[in-house]
Amino acid sequence: EAQVTQNPRYLITVTGKKLTVTCSQNMNHEYMSWYRQDPGLGLRQIYYSMNVEVTDKGDVPEGYKVSRKEKRNFPLILESPSPNQTSLYFCASRYGLAGWDEQFFGPGTRLTVL
């Protein structure tokens, strides 16, 4: 089944404790991205990657890192989480950069930073 998977789905952590949210897709998609979704603000792009070893900042990259060592994986790293990073996070992928390529989302990771 074609899908985007994320782990963990739920995470409660404390300020400053490094964490990684994994993302994997099995559709051989080139383009992957991370979003956060907050009430009243909608989905905002954190980082994106156009291919292996090619990553770039989105609209809200501060406090996050990513890597793309393999085509299928695109982990999101929070080196020192803070309470303002409490949010619902979605990983997404699409085949390429064409305007009509459908974007597929993972099931989401609900993160709470205390």
Partner 1 sequence: RKEVEQDPGPFNVPEGATVAFNCTYSNSASQSFFWYRQDCRKEPKLLMSVYSSGNEDGRFTAQLNRASQYISLLIRDSKLSDSATYLCVAAGGATNKLIFGTGTLLAVQP
Q: Which of residues 1, 62, 69, 97 is near partner 1 by CB under 8 A?
A: 97
Per CB under 8 A, the list member of 65, 67, 101, 112 interacting with partner 1 is 101
Number of residues that bind partner 1 (CB under 8 A): 24
Q: Which is nearer to partner 1, 63 or 108 (CB)?
A: 108
Encoded one letter per residue, x for contact with partner 1 by CB under 8 A and - for no contact, window 30-49 reads -x--------xxxxxx--x-
For residue 75, give the amino acid letter: P
DSSP string, 4-57: EEEE-SEEEE-TT--EEEEEEESS--SEEEEEEEETTTEEEEEEEEEETTEEEE
Among 11, 19, 27, 50, binds partner 1 (CB under 8 A): 50
Site residues (vs partner 1, CB under 8 A): 31, 40-45, 48, 50, 58, 88, 90, 97-103, 105-108, 110
